[in-house]
A and B are shown apart, each in its own frame.
Chain A
Amino acid sequence: MIRVAAVGDVHLGEDNRGLLRPSLDNIAEHADVLLLAGDLTRHGTLEEAKVVTDEFAGLDVPVVSVLGNHDYHSDSAEAISAMLEDSGITVLEGAATTVKLEGGTVGIAGVKGFGGGFAGKCGSRFGEREMKDFIEHTMAAAGRLRAALEGLEHEEPDLIVALTHYSPIPGTLHGEPPEIHPFLGSYLLCEPIDDVHAALAVHGHAHYGTEQGVSPGGVPVRNVAQPVIRAAYTTYVLEPAKALA
């Protein structure tokens, strides 16, 4: 049994410093690993990143994170990643990490991702340079996620979990206006998740969405944006595939 805790969109800043930490101090009683699904800050400043490390560093479980669009707002994403890494939080952007836990090993592949929309209602790499740049940014993110997931496959962890900020499916966006779905995620992120048969895909970004969805390939997808889960984090209990076999 592996207990994966996750939360996204905490939007930390000086004015909500310290609010989360009391609920995280006992996290080891509830979970084995904590995933952060991006939008850790409001404006993507280093001052806000310091609040993030103060809240999430030094917990009793490993913490693995991706960044979100808010974390890119001040063009300091790399410096934020470095700060989080220095504090012991693993930051993934087209990369993977394997965490060894009592219940087995969990391979986590993460990428921020981007928009573009979902099958049949999505943007195409066509027309203006700006439109092509938009879709190509998503394609590049999906490509990096694929490389990270396929790299994990070779390591054969007991579980593979995909971590993104943007949504890989429209199912967890129910509650958001359909008109803005192309800004909330892309099906391109979902293809590699299905291809490696991940055990779970976790994302944030859609504050009005719903928690539970499933990918076209049957992978459970969970939207852990804090306004959706209404808690400091939420926990998913997974049985490693080897144990099931």
Chain B
Amino acid sequence: MNEKELLHTLTKVVSTLDGTSARFAVAGGLAVYARGGPPSHHDVDIFLKREDIPEAVEALEAAGLRRVRPPEDWLTKVYDEDRLVDLIFRPNHRPVTDEMLDRASLMRIGATAAPVLNGTDLLVDKVLVLSPHRCDFGPLLRIARDLREQVDWHRVAEETAESPYAWSFLTLLAALSIIDGKELPMPAEAPQYLVARLTRALAEDPRTAELGVHVTVRGDQVRLSGEVACANRKADLEAVICEHIAAELVHNDVRLADVREPSRAEEIR
């Protein structure tokens, strides 16, 4: 499918939807293209609110597009000849909202002008598509480079924080200096701050109340040393620490108090 045909379909869809009361924004590859990214040859993605879908579909059918009923519960589809138009109301499990549509801005795309999804929303959507089976960073890397000034990367990091694929991709962008490392959702904590945080936790958490346990960090390993009164308290130290870092990184070398009778006395003269 060539770019020209796809833009032709977009023009038809936009002018049809403009005649309805449905609010919409162009998303996907054409939005990337509108914002200066690489051309798209795939399909036309339109974001709408769920309640506007029936009116939009009816208008598009009246304009000669062909409706299909896909099994998915987050979009519906129409065809302009063999060109697919996705009408998406719940991308990546998040409903399209008025706020999202408010953030879209009117831009030229080919022969038409239409609301185009905000750069940040667009990248959130693109990054959340990454999954075990769709893990190709290549095309996404180019999009990130082309759109980087139009994106609030901090919000992308926040809104994709639950995805390890997103985290990996953003880490790659930081390593390539495409974005600032400060935008990362999980900035690696300096060992000094980690030691301070863990030491305070051991002192202030009522389960431990230990001021006399030393925390040392070597690489990503954390070592606890010192002495506590009984085995129970040694275990409590670990319980508190493991709320902050992964258990397998903790080495608990804390010894237990020796409470035997003394074997000697010191003469002081």
Residues on A facing B (Cβ under 8 Å): 3, 9-13, 15-16, 19-20, 23, 26, 30, 42-43, 70, 73, 199-200, 207-208, 220, 222, 226-227, 229-239, 244
Contacts and interface: CB of A to CB of B under 8 A. Distances in A.
B49 interface: no
A222 B230 CA distance: 24
5 contacts: A16-B230, A208-B212, A232-B260, A234-B265, A237-B267
A208 B211 CA distance: 11
Interface string B111-139: 00000000000000000000000000000
Nearest to A1: B267
Interface of B: 206, 209, 212, 214, 226-230, 232-233, 257-269
A230 B229 contact: no
A52 B115 CA distance: 74
A142 B259 CA distance: 31
B269 to A, nearest CB: 6
Contacts of A222: 266
Contacts of A227: 212, 226-227, 257
B28 to A, nearest CB: 57
Contact of A237 (B214, B226, B265): B265
A231 B261 contact: yes
B227 A235 contact: no
B268 A220 contact: yes
A234 B229 contact: no
Contact of A226 (B206, B259, B263): B259
A231 B266 CA distance: 14
Contacts of A23: 259-261
Given A15-B230, A208-B226, A20 B268 contact: no
B266 A43 contact: no
Nearest to A25: B261
A237 B268 contact: yes
Given A10-B229, A227-B212, A232-B260, 6 more contacts: A11-B229, A13-B229, A229-B262, A234-B262, A235-B264, A236-B265
A10 B226 CA distance: 14
Given A43-B209, A70-B209, A73-B209, A232 B261 contact: yes
Contacts of B268: 199-200, 220, 236-238
Contacts of A19: 229-230, 257, 259
Nearest to A42: B209
A232 to B, nearest CB: 5
B201 to A, nearest CB: 16
A12 B257 CA distance: 12
A212 to B, nearest CB: 8
Contacts of A238: 268
Query: Which of B226, B227, B232, B264 has the largest count of A CB atoms less than 10 A from its CB?
Result: B227
B223 to A, nearest CB: 15
Contacts of B269: 239, 244
